[in-house]
Chains A and B, each alone.
Chain A
């Protein structure tokens, strides 16, 4: 199995989007693992799937809905309890460019 499904630039792009800082070794390691996963998934291409409807859910359930009745949620203090940083009731985050 030497087929390449994913290259170093793909790994870097995905890491950047996920805000993950990866070392050179990690990039190499995760690249190899992701490649193996993708190659494994390729086995599906060999299956005869003509006329098979795509599965939307693994459970035989449908129309699970609730009534439109409000219920109290968390208080502000609880909501912010796990936030690394907060200010004036807001979750504080690094500057975002809009």
Chain B
């Protein structure tokens, strides 16, 4: 980040022919993720032409339209399938997938675990606000037990997914969790994720005051940021907290970092052998 700083840097990457304002509510965390993503791409010195942002459907999916990369806004839950095609077709491309919690783990849950198992070389950012933001605040697979949502008016009764454990179990090469409060750490996690070969996931805890906070005891978006500050703790510290005292706390940091080559690398190696006369 040598010459240009802060907002100036962000403007370098925003599309000037895109009609603003953006769609996000004030207090939404999604824009912070976009800032972090831009700083990470800039920090890695990637050329805009070599970056492809593939987004799902949800408030989170709207990120793609604003930035001056190759951008594809796909169907609800299916972003990873499009990304798989792009990466297999253009293995040199840095393919970054932006999804919501419902997008990635409900309707797109099967694609998520298979992308992890297949180890396709794309980096998935999962913007987890524990709710379906775009459609008006229905329960998502990460809505905590007891929470009040439009479809759980008496409180959420199901178990929720732990994104990190899910992706780890499915075999992802890189698994991390950060938050939009801890931005510096988030920047470095996203950078690590993009650099790592194979399938990477960064789960990003982010507040949705409009559809979640208001109905679950938060007085303002700021309070939700305070909660993130308190509850998203480094995994080393988390491990030290006695289980009974953990409450709403979740561990953050990098949980998995393997260097297994991505599917696309393995495929083209195999193809080169086939074409070299077996």
Pairing of A with B: no
- Give A residues with C-beta under 8 Å from B: none
- Give B residues with C-beta under 8 Å from A: none
